[in-house]
Homo-oligomer: A and B are copies of this chain.
């Protein structure tokens, strides 16, 4: 059966659970949209991996998701977005959104002093993608970037509410203290799960910008502009993981506050990996 564009679903992918922050916002801001989510838990974290490898993983996941009837794909991983989406955008004729431009745009809107901080994985920060995205639109901004390699492992281990986590977050963010930032972009979709300790460490005068929340909003803008909004009162959601489906399901149920089902998937490249082992 051929579905019309509005009735198709949104594909969302991430290295692990981080993209669930985007998913939760899509469910909240676009409650009539169906979602196919892919978490590549077998290979998380993406942050320390070479750019080419991250790009290859992303292309492979999108190829997997493309078997479903989709109208848009969100690469809900800053590292993957920073590694470059040009190839996949050329290959598919549906909008493929990254998470960097929406966060950059929101920071431009919120910032009054033009002093903007960005935190992300080593891969994202090393790529300079946020600085480029911000200055492409507004060359006069001052951008201060900091890699926080400890944050993704903390979240993936479910330690968001741990006392030690607060300490680690505080210590990690210390280098930003002297820059008089008025806004800070959470340049990793895992980080909104650490909003509390990050806000505590930065102080309430710094506006915390979640690329997750902003990406969901831009998805809404683009779908509406292309007349592709759904009006389905009962959307359905599917979750896939290359890792442990039980652990992922438990995390997803808790974060999304609803009962989800998760399917385990083995991607061709990880099959080859197993055979080599």
Contacts and interface: CB of A to CB of B under 8 A. Distances in A.
A109 B29 contact: yes
A31 B138 contact: yes
Interface stretch (A195-203, A215-223, A255-263, A266-274): A215-223
B29 A224 contact: no
A136 interface: yes
Interface in A230-244: 231, 233
Contact of A231 (B106, B136, B140, B231): B136
A221 B105 contact: yes
Nearest to A220: B105
B220 A222 contact: no
A245 interface: no
A216 to B, nearest CB: 8
Contacts of A222: 221-222, 225
Given A109-B217, A220-B105, A32 B137 contact: yes
Nearest to A106: B217
Interface string A31-73: 1100000000000000000000000000000000000000000
B105 A137 contact: no
Contacts of A31: 138-140
Interface centre among A32, A95, A140, A218 (most CB of B within 10 A): A218
A101 interface: yes
Interface centre among A32, A136, A217 (most CB of B within 10 A): A217
24 contacts: A29-B109, A29-B137, A30-B137, A30-B138, A31-B138, A31-B139, A32-B137, A95-B225, A101-B221, A102-B221, A105-B220, A105-B224, A106-B217, A108-B220, A109-B216, A109-B217, A136-B229, A137-B220, A137-B224, A137-B229, A139-B233, A218-B221, A221-B222, A222-B222
